[in-house]
Structure 1
Amino acid sequence: MTVLSVNLNAVAQLRNRRNLPWPSVVGIARVVLDAGASGITIHPRPDERHIRRSDVFDLAAVLADEYPGAEYNIEGFPSEDFFSLIDDVSPHQVTLVPDDPAQATSDHGWDFDRQGEFLLGVVKQIRSPGRRISLFCDPDAGARGVAAAKQTGADRIELYTGPYGGCYADPERARVELVALAETARAAQEAGLGVNAGHDLTLNNLPAFQAAVPGVDEVSIGHGITADALLWGFAEAVRQYRGVLEG
């Protein structure tokens, strides 16, 4: 079964519009976990435009004390500051992304052929017992890219589903994107890698993704679920997404 990890970046970004402590990132984490989310995802950036360094530690404490069965997934570019944060917090999963710090959001996966040696060193550096390492992966990476990803020693790839999510008004293009995602996921699974997915997945496009790309271990959803939560509240939004994933 595919599990749901809720990305809280959008909650933090809304909070940061004012010098006030609400909406509470930790408070929303409690709501989504109580509603059945399997974990929390965050992507702290150097400029703290959404998740702040203090959030990283606050969430770690709450998950350890109140939700020991929930998973903590931290995404980021493997800089020295990121290494230090991972060492301090020791999340269950680390998702490595090739983002420039100035990017608004993640928008591409690793070039495994060109950056494989770099990633091999990074994976060795952050490897720890009980910690899973996932690498952000373009939807059309295919068997060659997945084979290079496997050589880094990572445990999973995370399929970048942004191009698919962007096809909300173009069903034909969405079908093309699903084929690429399915082929890359299949190659990863055959290579012994787990498969995560995330970016612009919604209640509308998730069913077709689930049907076309079987065997996905985890989806990380932030923007879409936050938009739905504005209508229904976070608890009901989590229940709706779980219904799709478990249906």
Structure 2
Amino acid sequence: MIALSVNLNKVATLRNTRPHDDPSVVRAARTVLDAGAAGVTVHPRPDARHIREQDVLDLADVMKEAAYAGREFNIEGYPDDRFLDLIRRVKPDQVTLVPDAPDQATSDHGWDLPAQHNFLAPIVAELKDMGCRVSLFADAEPAIAEAMAKTGADRIEIYTGPYFETFGTPENAAILKAIVDTSEAARALGLGINAGHDLTLENLPTLAQAVPWIDEVSIGHHLIGEALWMGLDGVVKAYRDCLAV
């Protein structure tokens, strides 16, 4: 079964509209893990507009509890000094590196490889030496897989924004084929496959059936939005049902 990691950024976004700790990011993490999520994801940005450094430290403590043995903590972000210092303190199970500018609204493109190889390769090596699995954010382009593998990364996370944007239109078939072809190319090189961005209860079953060897999907915005109607426990179970291919 494809693993579901729940991105908690939107819980933190709501919390940050008031000068207190409600809704609690830690409580949300416990809720999704108790509902069967394989892990949680956070993206601590430089402006702390959602996840804050203290959230990362608090969640790291939660993930060490015996009740959540085998669940994974995934931290994603651009590998600047601030981000890497936080990773060195926490040593999460997985680090997902994204090529985001500081003021970028959301991750919307993959790494430019091989052009950025010399920047990424030593960072990947350091993270792996810490014991972290390393995933690189990637566009759905099969030719990029070899360059991704050469960095030493363990996995790629395929950006699925265009898949969401075209779902239900004739253009979607070509986008889905590019995702399948990219995942096959990466898999042939020994890379694991993650996927993320704008995956929904509507479009996730099609993706899971087309690429059943995906290791993990990271879902936040739409999952938290659906939780308004289904509850956080119920929506995690609904997304897990979509992944049971």
Q: TM above 0.5, one fold?
A: yes
3-state DSSP of counterpart to 1:36: coil
- TM-score normalised by length of structure 1: 0.96
Pairwise CA RMSD: 1.1
Aligned 8 A contact 2:88 2:130 in 1: no
Q: What SS class does the counterpart of residue 218 from structure 2 fall into?
A: strand
- The equivalent residue for 1:202 is 200
Determine helix, strand or coil for the equivalent of 1:6.
strand
- Cα separation, 2, equivalents of 1:17 and 1:166: 29
Answer whether contact 2:127 2:133 (CA < 8 A) is retained.
no
- Give the drift of 1:200: 0.1
The 5 A counterparts of 1:135-174 are: 135-139=136-140, 141-142=141-142, 144-168=143-167, 170-174=168-172
Shift of 1:116: 1.3
Alpha-carbon deviations, 1:15-53, whole Å to 9, x = none? 111112111000010000000000000000011000011
CA distance in 2, matches of 1:129, 1:56: 17
Q: Are 2:108 and 1:107 equivalent residues in the alignment?
A: yes
Alpha-carbon distance in structure 2 between the residues aligned to 1:130 and 1:165: 33
The code of the aligned residue for 1:228 comes to E
Asked if the contact 1:136–1:157 (Cα under 8 Å) also holds between the matched residues in 2, the reply is: yes
How much has 1:129 moved relative to structure 2? Answer: 5.3
Q: Check the 8 A contact 1:160/1:197 in 2, yes or no.
A: yes
Report the residue type matching 2:205 in the other structure. Answer: P
Which residue of structure 2 lines up, in the alignment, with residue 193 of structure 1? 191
Per-residue deviation at 1:210? 1.1
Which stretch shifts more, 211-220 or 24-33?
Answer: 211-220
SS of the equivalent of 2:30 reads helix
Amino acid at match of 1:195: I
Amino acid in the other structure paired with 1:157: I
2:98 is aligned to: 97
Structure 1 residue 145 displacement after superposition: 1.0
Provide the rounded CA distance (Å) in 2 between the counterparts of 1:213 and 1:234: 26
Provide the C-alpha distance between the structure 2 equivalents of 1:167 and 1:234, rounded to a whole number of angstroms. Answer: 27
Partners in 2 of 1:240 and 1:146 — Cα distance? 31
Displacement after TM superposition at 1:214 (Å): 2.7
TM-score of the superposed pair, with normalisation by structure 2: 0.97
Look up the SS of the partner of 1:113 in the other structure: coil
In the alignment, residue 150 of structure 1 is paired with which amino acid?
A
Aligned length: 244
SS of aligned partner of 2:212: coil
1:134 paired with 2:132, answer: no
Aligned partner letter, 2:16? N
| Structure 1 residue 100 displacement after superposition | 0.2
Q: 1:109 Cα deviation (Å)? A: 0.3
Question: Residue 178 of structure 1 aligns with which residue?
Answer: 176
- Kindly indicate whether residue 62 of structure 2 is the aligned counterpart of residue 34 of structure 1: no
| Rounded Cα–Cα distance in structure 1 between residues aligned with 2:94 and 2:24 | 23
Q: Does the 8 Å CA contact 1:178/1:213 hold for their aligned counterparts?
A: no
**Cα distance, 1:128 vs structure 2:** 2.6
1:230 aligns with 2:231: no
> Does the 8 Å CA contact 2:158/2:194 hold for their aligned counterparts?
yes
Cα distance in 1 between the residues matched to 2:120 and 2:131: 19
Question: Could you tell me how far 1:125 is from its partner in structure 2?
Answer: 2.1
The separation in 1 between residues aligned to 2:49 and 2:101, in whole angstroms, is 14
Would you say the 8 A contact 2:124–2:151 is kept in 1? yes
User: Aligned partners of 1:67, 1:54: CA distance in 2, in Å?
Assistant: 20
Unmatched runs of 5 consecutive residues or more in structure 1: none
AA aligned to 1:67 is Y
